[in-house]
């Protein structure tokens, strides 16, 4: 692909904001028989290539998985319920749209299994069969991107490599907006289950850390609508001091 132009570019700010507003994580099955055209996938990866990174370290690698058999093997990796996730997730839940609109942060409780909507959730409360019904299998998709990075390479004087982690967030957003702009659905997957099993399947070196992955594809049906909220600008801005 050609290099970005050096001359200033006039952008349509309204169109950019529309794109930002439209971005969402689609946790639905994508049509595995409808591949993503090479030019669309290349555009998403080009957006990744030009994502900002601390000291221009570009400390990431992306494993592009589009082999159907390999995708099925990854989907078969067990993703057990995390007690820590469920208990900490509970704090972010609203139990009505009115509550969510008032809080302006968090998620509607109805988007999670009934058993996850309790403050005293304990794995020991459930049988193995009950736990199996709570696990959410990885929905099908024609492409999976697995993003890895080398934690031994950190930005200078960045305690805990905070700037490196921020850079990975920029990478994620660039790919997300590029996908959305083309009508390609994207679902961020924070965990694919057993990391060792995934490493073996993809041949990921031990020194690299799996940061996140994302499913790409076209929804098999119209994704369900849900209430999305954000704080107002005046809720988080502080002029000339906190």
User: 43: part of which helix (H) or strand (E)?
Assistant: helix 38-49
Going from N- to C-terminal start, the domains of the chain cover: 24-79+137-242, 80-135
pLDDT for res 224: 84
Which residue, 58, 74, 54, 2, is CA-closest to 158?
A: 54
Q: What pLDDT, on a 0 to 100 scale, did the predictor assign at position 159?
A: 85
pLDDT of amino acid 79: 86
Q: Which CATH class is domain 24-79+137-242?
A: alpha beta
C-alpha distances (whole Å) from 70 to each of 80, 202, 240 are: 20, 9, 53
**Which residue numbers in the chain have pLDDT < 50?**
none
What pLDDT is stored for residue 127 in this prediction? 87
């Amino acid at each position: 692909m050609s290099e970005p132009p050096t001359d200033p570019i006039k952008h349509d700010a309204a169109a950019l904001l529309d794109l930002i507003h439209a971005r969402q994580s689609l946790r639905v099955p994508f049509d595995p028989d409808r591949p993503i055209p090479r030019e669309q996938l290349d555009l998403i990866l080009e957006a990744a290539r030009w994502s900002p990174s601390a000291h221009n370290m570009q400390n990431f690698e992306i494993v592009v998985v589009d082999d159907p058999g390999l995708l099925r093997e990854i989907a078969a990796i067990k993703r057990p319920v995390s007690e820590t996730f469920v208990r900490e997730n509970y704090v972010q839940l609203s139990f009505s749209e009115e509550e969510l609109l008032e809080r302006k942060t968090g998620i509607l409780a109805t988007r999670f299994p009934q058993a996850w909507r309790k403050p005293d959730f304990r794995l020991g409360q459930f049988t193995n069969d009950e736990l199996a019904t709570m696990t959410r299998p990885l929905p099908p998709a024609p492409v999976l991107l697995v993003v890895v990075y080398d934690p031994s390479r950190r930005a200078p004087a960045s305690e805990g490599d905070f700037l490196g982690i921020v850079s990975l967030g920029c990478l994620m957003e660039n790919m997300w907006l590029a996908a959305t702009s083309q009508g390609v659905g994207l679902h961020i997957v924070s965990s694919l289950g057993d990391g060792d099993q995934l490493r073996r399947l993809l041949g990921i070196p031990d020194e690299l850390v799996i940061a996140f992955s994302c499913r790409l594809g076209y929804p098999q049906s119209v994704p369900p609508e849900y209430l999305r909220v954000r704080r107002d600008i005046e809720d988080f801005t502080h002029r000339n001091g906190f």
